[in-house]
């Protein structure tokens, strides 16, 4: 099992589980998202932020982190076909829009994701 990761933002120590998911949702900030994204080798663009904020809003509204299928369906109802396509989402989050996107968004791993720690 991996060591527990910690982030430091404004002298505050932020705890995560061994896979880098925040233990407390309220600890999330855009600064932490940038640190997590850097670890994931992702340079956050406006397109990334749009999905990150969409994920956070979805979680706030429904109380769950969406899997890829649910995320695509929710995006399609709010955006055009291009922004809900698998290709678009995986171009932004190559290790998985739910897994990697939720980690950057400070959300837990979606319950129905296959056990993944890459």
- Catalytic amino acids? 113
CA distance 100 to 103: 5
Angle of the 68-78 helix axis to the 46-62 helix axis, nearest 10: 100
The two tokens of residue 41 are 């080798």
């Amino acid at each position: 099992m991996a060591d527990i990761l910690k982030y430091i933002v404004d002298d505050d120590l932020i705890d995560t589980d061994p896979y880098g998911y925040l233990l407390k949702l309220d600890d999330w900030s855009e600064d932490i998202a940038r640190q997590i994204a850097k670890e994931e080798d992702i340079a956050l663009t406006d397109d990334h932020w749009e999905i990150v904020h969409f994920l956070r809003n979805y979680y706030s509204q429904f109380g769950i982190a969406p899997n890829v299928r649910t995320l695509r369906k929710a995006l399609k109802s709010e955006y055009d076909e291009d922004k809900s396509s698998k290709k678009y989402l995986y171009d932004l989050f190559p290790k998985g829009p739910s897994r990697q996107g939720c980690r950057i968004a400070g959300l837990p791993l979606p319950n129905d994701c296959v056990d993944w720690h890459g």
